[in-house]
Amino acid sequence: MPKTKRKITPKIGTVHLTRNKTEENDKHSLRERRDRRKKDKVPSTATVCHKEDPLFSSSDEGTSPTVLYLSYKLKRFENVQYVIKLAEECEKRIQRLNKNLVQEGQISSDVKIELRYVGKITEDNLRHVTHRKGREQFSKEQDTWKASPLICFQNDLPFDTAKKLLSVEEACHKILVTSNSNGEGAVNEEKNITIVDYDHVQEAITRCLEEPVRDLLHKWDLVLNNEEKTEEALLIRTDIGNIRKQLLCEEYKTDSVPLSSNVGTQNIIPEDVKTYLLSSRNVNAFGIWDKSTFKVLVKKGTNNKMFHEEIQKINADFFTKYILDVETREFIVKKFTIRQGDTILTSSRNVDNDDSKKGTLGGFVTKEDDPNTKYAITCEHVIPFEDGSAYTSYTPVTRIGDCVYKSKIKDFAAIKIEESITNNCDTTFRRDDHKKTNARVYKDHIKEEIGTVHKIGGATNVTSGSIASKEFHYKCPEDNGKSHCVFLVRGRDDAFSREGDSGSLVFSRPKEATHSYVNVLGMVAGRAEDDEMLSCCYPISPSLEAFEKSFVKTVKFKDNLSPSASSSSSCSSVSPSSSP
């Protein structure tokens, strides 16, 4: 009897199968096996299979491979969800620039992910794909994401047999998960099969799912490149570049800019250039600007042309990589009057009183050997006195503690939390979607690969931006003209920070399939007086190192959340008076 194909129409949130029909006996046998599986009490996380009772074995006689379709919520794939949401916001910016440039609704985060499996599938296999909990519910109107990889777990099958199973259907990507670690990252060019071990399944799937985002960003970039080079269009192209830096499916290529071999936060600019400019009375500020510009701001009366020539002679190699731009203007940082998110006060008076100043409680660090000893960190200019007290902005106003450490050169202050309220302090870090996460101090110099950054402030809550300058030096009038080293962040769609945001911690998401932590880069101190879109931020690593050296042995952010807790929890922003 010739074989015919029959497709069973899928239902939302369920499994559907495609298989070749054989003789009636084979059909009856398959029906019996399905009935047996229905009787088993199988947890919905594995949908239809037990580890010891696989859904399908390729050795079943008289059948062709069964393709299992499973639907997942987008949030199960964190990096995919993150870049899709960033691209959604970017599309809105392009629409505001010119509605005719791109079609509206080309990308949406209101989608479900559909993965296809072939061969033997067990509960343990599926746990390596995502920590999915409970039965997924989908609306009938919800679209399916454009990319859908075909996945085969080798399990106890011969390698060639498992590979052959992937020829059952066409797919954007075909992924073979081997039972050992020898195949990590290998690609079978002939059949376009990605071969990975169990530890790299999520990454391989993420790379596939991100490709439609990558293609759309590339398309938008080409469209904008043909438009008039307005400031807004250039900023949107920067935004597109930042999103592409987050894509696992696109390897980021750094510019061939020489960096010092010493790891640190202030080693991008060569020492000879830095020494010359710091010693010059004509220089107001200088630093890296965007990707390939080295900007020097000089005082009025300076011969810019002559100064330009003098600087280039100092380090000719450096200025073949960076375009030197000398401007006559000042760089003044407007330090925000004192206002991870909560507003803190330096006076117990009513918040509406002019004498009451506000700032932001950036976050909490604890002593490594004594987690009950907690410190709230904020900006130095937020706390007017060496032993000044800090208070909550809630009613009734509550004293948090006293300032025990201040550094003007780093605009950093630490407040030791009162023992009476330490149990009411939620020391867990929050990311831009307010979910709990682990926090890691970013100890390297800020690299070109850093894309979108975020902060949670007392005044503006969550904002996003991009690095405008990885390293910038300016002479601080509040510190007797001493040179301060900062990095600059440009707001993505609005100002990155405003009055009351001083002390907010700047962080970025990792370029990984799952986001179990964030990298804390620095602390917001203020904004450029002549450009409200630019925020001035101090690197956090040297500030914490100086605090440890002067006051405590070792401190750290909370970093003991499990990956599943980090990716699934959600609550309001950090508050010293909220419950843990």
Residues 443 and 490 in one domain: yes
**Whole-prediction pTM value?**
0.74
Tokens of 55: 């859904």
Beta-carbon neighbour count of residue 272 at 10 Å?
Answer: 11
Summarize pLDDT for 20-70 with one digit per residue, the tens: 433 444 444 434 444 444 433 333 322 334 443 344 443 444 345 688 999
Q: Above 90 in pLDDT, residue 574? A: no
- Decide which of 179, 194, 216 is a domain's last residue: 216
Residues 289 and 409 in one domain: no
Q: Which residue has the tokens 């006195």?
A: 385
Summarize pLDDT for 351-377 with one digit per residue, the tens: 554 434 788 989 999 988 888 899 999
Summarize pLDDT for 505-514 with one digit per residue, the tens: 999 999 999 9
- Across the chain, what does the average pLDDT equal? 80
240 in any annotated domain: no
- Decide which of 153, 183, 216 is a domain's last residue: 216
Calpha distance 414→387 (Å, rounded): 10
Residues 118 and 105 in one domain: yes
Summarize pLDDT for 124-151 with one digit per residue, the tens: 999 999 877 656 788 888 899 999 999 9
In this prediction, residue 336 has a pLDDT band, given cuts at 50, 70 and 90, of low
Calpha distance 92→410 (Å, rounded): 37
325 in any annotated domain: yes
The H-or-E segment that residue 410 falls in is none
Query: Which letter does DSSP use for residue 192 in this model?
Result: T
By CB atoms closer than 10 A (0-12, 13-18, 19+), residue 530 is: exposed
The pLDDT assigned to 64 comes to 54
Residues 312 and 355 in one domain: no
The pLDDT assigned to 337 comes to 53
In this prediction, residue 111 has a pLDDT band, given cuts at 50, 70 and 90, of very high
- Decide which of 295, 330, 365 is a domain's last residue: 330
Q: How many residues does the chain have?
A: 580
Calpha distance 4→417 (Å, rounded): 73
Residues 348 and 320 in one domain: no
In this prediction, residue 338 has a pLDDT band, given cuts at 50, 70 and 90, of very low
Calculated CA dihedral for residues 200, 202, 205, 209, nearest 10 degrees: -140
Mean of the pLDDT values across residues 330-348?
73
Number of structural domains found in the chain: 3
Residues 294 and 406 in one domain: no
Summarize pLDDT for 392-435 with one digit per residue, the tens: 776 677 788 999 999 999 999 999 998 888 888 888 899 999 99
Beta-carbon neighbour count of residue 255 at 10 Å?
Answer: 9
Residues 297 and 342 in one domain: no
Tokens of 360: 């932001």
In this prediction, residue 536 has a pLDDT band, given cuts at 50, 70 and 90, of very high
The pLDDT assigned to 548 comes to 93
Residues 354 and 444 in one domain: yes
Residues 310 and 390 in one domain: no
Half-sphere exposure of 154 (CA within 13 A, CB side): 20
Q: Above 60 in pLDDT, residue 167? A: yes
Reduce the DSSP state of residue 132 to 3 states and report it. coil
Its domain, for residue 96, covers 5-216
Mean of the pLDDT values across residues 82-110?
91
Residues 320 and 393 in one domain: no
CATH of the domain at 410: 2.40.10.10
**Could you give the angle at the alpha carbon of 470 between the alpha carbons of 469 and 472, nearest 5°?**
65
Q: Which residue has the tokens 């050795």?
A: 59
Summarize pLDDT for 466-505 with one digit per residue, the tens: 999 999 999 988 888 899 999 999 999 899 999 999 999 9
Calpha distance 544→440 (Å, rounded): 12
Q: Is 454 or 263 the better-scoring residue by pLDDT?
A: 454
